[in-house]
Structure 1
Amino acid sequence: MPGGYSKKLALRLDAQQYAAYEGTPPTRPEWTTARAALVALSAVLVLIVSGLALLGGWLVVRDFPSFFSIVAGIPVLLVAWALRPRLWSAEDVWHELHRDDAPVLFALLDRIATAAGTRMPDRVALDADFNASAGTHGWLRKRTLTIGLPLFGVLTPQQRVAVLGHEFGHFVNGDPARGLLTQPAVRTPLILADLVRPSEAFVSDTLWGQLAERAMWPFQMLLQRLFLLIGSGVIAVAARDHQRAEYCADALAVRLAGTAATEASMIDLASAEQLMGSIAAVERGTQANAETARRNHPGAARWREAADAWRASADVADVLDRSVTEKASLWHDHPPAGLRARIVKSWPYTDPSVVLSDADSARIDAELHRFYARAGRDIAWSAA
């Protein structure tokens, strides 16, 4: 799809979705035609893969130990194994945080989980990204909450509640685009594209083998492009449902943290590139002084000072406008932060139900101090 047309279509779909929730916060991600189609496609794919597994097994055992029967059945079994349903696996994390490491932070998470009506995540992780995320992984559906230290470090206490409340919203509402029932539809075309991908170099040692590889190359390339196109289309469909889930999570953030803090956190997310640049500039100065970097790292205090300085000079309306246009994409799984900030403001004004005091927020920073220092080194090196 040409880039200009896809951008216009994304802007139109973003506007339609915004209009659907403007003034009235959503409750849970509803069933949509797109979601139903993804579930139906997943069911068909699971049946096909199951059929391949049965066929391959039957071919292997039909005249066992017949060489020809085994040779016919094993490739079918291998294809079925490659296309087997699988879930998003738990990824390695920058640092896994435990309750003993940060009791005040975990006490806040307990309060948010109780207010949201859900259980605590199985794993709380930290990383050095300007982001936060929540995911459910594996057949046991283990939950992981990941807190990006640069983002968390520059937020006000109540903004921290908003960001964490949003992530707990995903545990409450689920995510139709990443659920058990839609994964085969989302992942299978990309797996097929990888299976048929032609090798970068001809590997056969014989002339006839190389000729065969050359003859197959255009067909493999055509099939790969076809599967990638199908996969891109499925991801675009799934992205719309994921964006609906984001708005539902924002609604929970408003209920927990209040309108003002949630709107401010969305403005910061729309300003992620600029705020991260401010943090990197400060951190390069800190790392230039070896003694300060090793023993007296200021933690997030200087990050907040740099972020506050940028916020004071920023044109918020321009930041939001640019977010709406620049971040519009058929394949993004989040609505532009500019739209999220505006839609939060359009909902009925809400006071917070979970309040984080300045004192407790400072205690959390003290608990995370050594991780801020480590993240600062990563940020400085990556920006160098």
Structure 2
Amino acid sequence: MSRLSALARRLDARQFAAYAAVPPSRAGWTGARVALVAVSVAITVVVLGLLALGVWLVVDGFPSWRLVPGLVLIGIAWTLRPRLGSAGERWAVVTEDDAPTLFALLARVATATGAPMPHVVALDYRFNASAGVHGLRRTRTLVLGLPLWGSLEPDQRVALLGHEFGHFVNNDPTRSILTQPALTTPGVLAQLLWPSRSLTNGNLLIAFAEWVLAPVQRLVARGFLLLQAGLLAVATRDHQRAEYCADALSARVAGSGAAVALLDGIAAASAVETAVVSAERKTQATATPRSAHPGPGPWREAARAARAGVDLAAVRDQTVAESTLWDSHPPTGLRARLVEAWPHQDAAVVLGRDESDRVDAELAKWYAKAGRDLVWE
């Protein structure tokens, strides 16, 4: 593992050097993308073949003994079908009627980044944020974790939105329908093949067969897991390039200083999140009714103190030292240093304190619920 870690650090350094002078542009058809699409096409052809064979076995001479293997093949094909992604369970969804100031800000950021508006704006109680495209209709979803959002200064909020909107336009190969089968199907096969707990109910013959086959199943399943790890490693560099593209948009929209401050806060996320949770516990200890929750003010003050007490240089170095070949994001410390290395940019979208406070007022009822869920988790 030490050699793999050293390789990851070398690749990170090489990527940093490549983008230090000029921010990366939207990724095109790289060798990695071509390879992933080729594997995806091969997998899709095999799955369609299994489905066609299964249907033929069921239909031909129906009813016959072929019905059972036909249904098995159809079931396997269904299990291996391409996944279009899912937004998952939404903690809360906010609409423009609920938060007109927030949506006006989102529209300004969308214009500045050249990205489309999200179809869904969801909220969450976790210390995170994300943006993605899901489902057959390719629904764009923006998720704002309120503890993270509430702990940020106004310009850092713009930087966060700039980065997340960047995911709608940075051509990330790991978010593409064309590459999805290559990145997920081997893992599904491994899960299918891994020996399950015996359901033999005392049948010694079946139990013996399971005991004999289990080592073979584990070996083949591990082979598929190794294949998936290799394909993910192939995709990682393009995915990290997409993250750097999103960082470049973040700096262009919010200004270089805000983008760096956001990234340093993410690098120190452990300390900041702990401080936010502690601040919320103090709020709840006063037995304040939920309707009188103070909002994110105490979180922001706690986050400021936590960031001020962190050795940012050491935290940046730590993210670099902990890098692996399969990390979906480049080391946060390198991301911050890369934004600093690019030519300085002033903010294209400015969020004033008053406007930021109006956004918080629109989200007030969700802040109270997020605080409760954050502490309980």
TM-score by length of 2: 0.96
Q: Find the aligned partners of 2:204 and 2:148 in 1 and give their Cα distance.
A: 58
1:129 aligned counterpart, secondary structure: coil
1:141 aligns with 2:118: no
Q: Find the aligned partners of 1:275 and 1:30 in 2 and give their Cα distance.
A: 36
Q: Which residue, out of 299, 309, 333, partners 2:295?
A: 299
Cα deviation digits, residues 105-144 of structure 1 (max 9, x gap) = 1110011112222321010011122221101001111000
Per the TM alignment, residue 202 of structure 1 is displaced from its structure 2 partner at its CA by: 4.5
Cα deviation digits, residues 182-213 of structure 1 (max 9, x gap) = 00101110110111111123535422111111
Matches within 5 A, 1:150-169: 150-169=147-166
Amino acid in the other structure paired with 1:52? L
Per the TM alignment, residue 295 of structure 1 is displaced from its structure 2 partner at its CA by: 4.0
Which residue does 1:315 correspond to in 2? 311
Per the TM alignment, residue 63 of structure 1 is displaced from its structure 2 partner at its CA by: 2.3
Which residue does 1:281 correspond to in 2? 278
Q: Which runs of 4+ in 1 moved over 3 A?
A: none
Runs (5+) with no aligned partner, structure 1 = none
Q: Percent identity?
A: 54
Which residue does 2:58 correspond to in 1? 60
Per the TM alignment, residue 4 of structure 1 is displaced from its structure 2 partner at its CA by: 2.0
Which residue does 1:12 correspond to in 2? 10
1:235 aligns with 2:244: no
Q: Which residue, out of 90, 102, 115, partners 1:118?
A: 115
Which residue does 2:38 correspond to in 1? 40
Amino acid in the other structure paired with 2:100? P
Amino acid in the other structure paired with 1:297? H
Q: Which moved more, 1:39-48 or 1:195-204?
A: 195-204
1:221 aligns with 2:218: yes
1:336 aligns with 2:331: yes
Which residue does 2:98 correspond to in 1? 101
Q: Could you tell me whether the CA contact under 8 Å between 2:291 and 2:365 is conserved in 1?
A: no
Q: Find the aligned partners of 1:115 and 1:258 in 2 and give their Cα distance.
A: 12
Per the TM alignment, residue 64 of structure 1 is displaced from its structure 2 partner at its CA by: 2.3
Q: Find the aligned partners of 1:61 and 1:281 in 2 and give their Cα distance.
A: 63
Per the TM alignment, residue 261 of structure 1 is displaced from its structure 2 partner at its CA by: 0.6
Amino acid in the other structure paired with 2:315? V
1:347 aligns with 2:342: yes
1:172 aligned counterpart, secondary structure: coil
1:171 aligned counterpart, secondary structure: coil
Q: Could you tell me whether the CA contact under 8 Å between 1:256 and 1:354 is conserved in 2?
A: yes
Q: Which residue, out of 176, 180, 184, partners 1:183?
A: 180
2:140 aligned counterpart, secondary structure: strand
Q: Which moved more, 1:314-323 or 1:44-53?
A: 314-323
Q: Could you tell me whether the CA contact under 8 Å between 1:271 and 1:319 is conserved in 2?
A: yes
TM-score by length of 1: 0.95
Per the TM alignment, residue 333 of structure 1 is displaced from its structure 2 partner at its CA by: 0.8
Amino acid in the other structure paired with 1:99? E
Q: Could you tell me whether the CA contact under 8 Å between 2:110 and 2:165 is conserved in 1?
A: yes
Which residue does 1:357 correspond to in 2? 352
CA 1:85–1:298 in structure 2 vs 1: closer, same or farther (change >3 Å)? same
Amino acid in the other structure paired with 1:312? A
Q: Which moved more, 1:234-243 or 1:40-49?
A: 234-243
Would you say how many aligned residue pairs link Structure 1 and Structure 2?
377
Per the TM alignment, residue 58 of structure 1 is displaced from its structure 2 partner at its CA by: 2.0
CA RMSD of aligned residues (A): 1.4
CA 1:41–1:147 in structure 2 vs 1: closer, same or farther (change >3 Å)? same
Q: Which residue, out of 77, 98, 103, partners 1:80?
A: 77
Q: Which moved more, 1:198-207 or 1:127-136?
A: 198-207
1:377 aligns with 2:372: yes
Amino acid in the other structure paired with 1:69? R
CA 1:361–1:82 in structure 2 vs 1: closer, same or farther (change >3 Å)? same
Q: Could you tell me whether the CA contact under 8 Å between 1:197 and 1:221 is conserved in 2?
A: yes
Q: Find the aligned partners of 1:207 and 1:55 in 2 and give their Cα distance.
A: 34
2:23 aligned counterpart, secondary structure: coil
Amino acid in the other structure paired with 2:209? A
Q: Could you tell me whether the CA contact under 8 Å between 2:198 and 2:210 is conserved in 1?
A: no
Which residue does 1:31 correspond to in 2? 29
Q: Which moved more, 1:367-376 or 1:55-64?
A: 55-64
2:169 aligned counterpart, secondary structure: helix
Per the TM alignment, residue 90 of structure 1 is displaced from its structure 2 partner at its CA by: 2.3
1:211 aligned counterpart, secondary structure: helix
